[in-house]
Amino acid sequence: MRREDPSSEVTDPLRGPGPILGLWSVTADSKLLEVSAALLPDFLVIDTQHGAHVARLTTETFGAIAFYEVPALVRVPSIDPADIGRALDLGAAGIIAPLVNDAEDARLAALSCRYAPDGIRSYGMQTPRIDPFADDYRPLCVVQIETAAAVDNVDEIAAVDGVDWLYVGPADLGLSIGGVPAPDVISVFDGSHPLAGPMQDAFRLVVEAADRHGKLAGLHCSGGEAARQLLAHGFGVTAVATDLGAALKGMANELKIARG
C-alpha cells in the first residue's frame, strides 16, 4: 500500500516543520529495505559509512522503496563529490554527509548535490524514475554535526545555501567533546551521561542555529522513547530504529520468551 497523496499545503514533507520520523538501514538488504518502506516512515536511510559499501548500491536498491513512495537517503562515506553523485544518480532522494566540521565542508556537500552552474555534480543519472532537470528536483542535503569543531561552527554551517538539515550524531559528538560516546540520548537528557552538560549545550546550539537559518535540526537516537524526548527538546527529525538493531532485539526477545 502506497502512502496517501500529501497535503496540498506541504510541497516537500522533508523540508516541512516536523516531526519527521525515519528508519535506518545498515544492511542495504533489499528484503529488509522493502519491509522497512512498507511501514511508511517519513524517510529511509541507507548507511554506506558504517554499513554497506556505496559500490554495492544499484538502481534496484531503490526500486522497492520507490513503490511505497518513501524518500530514500544515503549516508555517504565522506564528503566526496563522486560518492554523493553516485548515490543521487542511482535514485536517492538526498544524501547525509558525515563529519562536517565547518562551512567549507557543508558547502562542498551542497554543491555536490547540484549541477552546474549552481554546483559541481557530474551528470550521469541511472534511473528513468527521476528527471534531474525537472523544476521540482532538488535532492535533500543533510550535514552531520558530530564534532566539537562542528558545534563551534554550527551557525556558519547552518547559513550555507543548499543545506537542509543539521543532523547530530551523538556517539561521535560525545567522543569529540570528551572521549565518551553518547548513542543513548536519553542518558544525555536525564543527566546520567558523564558529558550530559556539554552535550545538552551542544544540542541547544544546533537547534538554535537551525531555527535562525530556517533549517531543520535532527538528532540520531536509539528508539521510540528517545525520539519522543528529543522532539520535546526542539529537534524535528530523527531515525527511530535501525534494521540490524531491530532484528537483533526482536529475535533476542523471542528466544528469551521461548526459553522461559
pLDDT in tens, 40-78: 999 999 999 998 777 788 888 888 898 999 999 999 999
* 85 neighbors 111 (Cβ within 8 angstroms): no
In a domain, 58, yes or no: yes
CA–CA distance, 151 with 143 (Å, rounded to integer) = 12
Positions of the chain with pLDDT lower than 50, given as ranges: 1-11
In a domain, 4, yes or no: no
Q: What is the DSSP string of 86-151?
A: HHHHHT-SEEEE----SHHHHHHHHHTTSBTTT--BPP----TT--TTSTT---EEEEEE-SHHHH
pLDDT at 154: 98
pLDDT at 81: 97
Structural domains in the chain (count): 1
In a domain, 3, yes or no: no
Considering the entire predicted model, what is its pTM?
A: 0.93
Scanning the structure block, which residue is given the C-alpha cell 527538546? 233
C-alpha cell at 174: 560525545
- Catalytic hit among 50, 193, 213, 233: 50
In a domain, 80, yes or no: yes
DSSP conformational letter for 14: G
* 14 neighbors 71 (Cβ within 8 angstroms): yes
In a domain, 199, yes or no: yes
pLDDT at 114: 97
For β-strands 72-75 and 94-97, DSSP reports them as: parallel
C-alpha cell at 132: 534531474
In a domain, 107, yes or no: yes
> What's the CATH number where 141 sits?
3.20.20.60
- CA proximity to 163, closest of 122, 111, 203: 111
Its domain, for residue 232, covers 15-259
In a domain, 1, yes or no: no
State yes or no: is 53 an active-site residue.
no
pLDDT at 158: 98
In a domain, 10, yes or no: no
